[in-house]
Amino acid sequence: MLTNVFADVGWECPAILDALQGVAEVYFDRVSQIRMPAWTKGRVALLGDAAACVSLLAGEGTGLAMTEAYVLAGELGRCGGDTAAAFARYEALLRPFLAAKQATAVRLASSFAPRTAIGVRVRDALTRLLRIPAVADYLIGRDLRDDIVLPDYD
């Protein structure tokens, strides 16, 4: 299957395809997002990638899970153990933020694996430009900023 799809691609593909000829198994996976209509049911709440995985490519899973755990714990404490109220507040506080993160990941996903040689050249040129702080801030700064103010649960 891989040979049929990538035989005429060029670059390093022929060498990679040759190396794969002696391999017994090849593992495939897909890059995907989790989009749940609700993060809670009854007394169970999801957080982290189980609730709203942004992307395998974003590198934000751990930080977002910690943020979600902080808010969930804080709301459980604030609501005196009333899980229904705490869960509703948890989703109300975080869903808009995480939905925006997911939308950004979808928008930027095609830049990781362009479909054409020209796309690869454009991506590589832009990546080199991103080393310049002012250019990076102009091109993607708004996508990298986390405009969320977390509640203080002290």
For the segment 114-129, what is each residue's pLDDT rounded down to a tens digit?
888 899 899 999 889 9
Please state the rounded mean pLDDT for residues 44-73. 89
- pLDDT (0 to 100) of residue 143: 64
Is there a contact between 54 and 33 (Cβ–Cβ < 8 Å)?
A: yes
User: CATH class for domain 31-144?
Assistant: alpha beta
Q: Tell which residue, 137, 63, 42, has the closest CA to residue 52.
A: 63
Please state the rounded mean pLDDT for residues 8-14. 86
What distances in angstroms separate CA 138 from CA 60, 130, 131, 142, one per listed residue? Answer: 21, 9, 12, 8
Domains of the chain by residue range = 1-30, 31-144
Mean pLDDT of the chain: 88
Query: How far is Cα 91 from Cα 127, in angstroms, rounded to an integer?
Result: 35
Residue 51 pLDDT > 70: yes
- pLDDT (0 to 100) of residue 138: 85
* Local structure of 33: helix, strand or coil: coil
pLDDT digits (tens, 9 = 90+) for 59-95: 788 989 999 999 999 999 999 989 999 999 999 999 9
Residue 144 pLDDT > 70: no
Is 87 buried (19+), middle (13-18) or exposed (0-12) by CB count in 10 A? buried
Q: Tell which residue, 72, 32, 34, 75, has the closest CA to residue 51.
A: 34
Across 33-102, the runs of DSSP E, i.e. the strands, are 40-41, 44-45
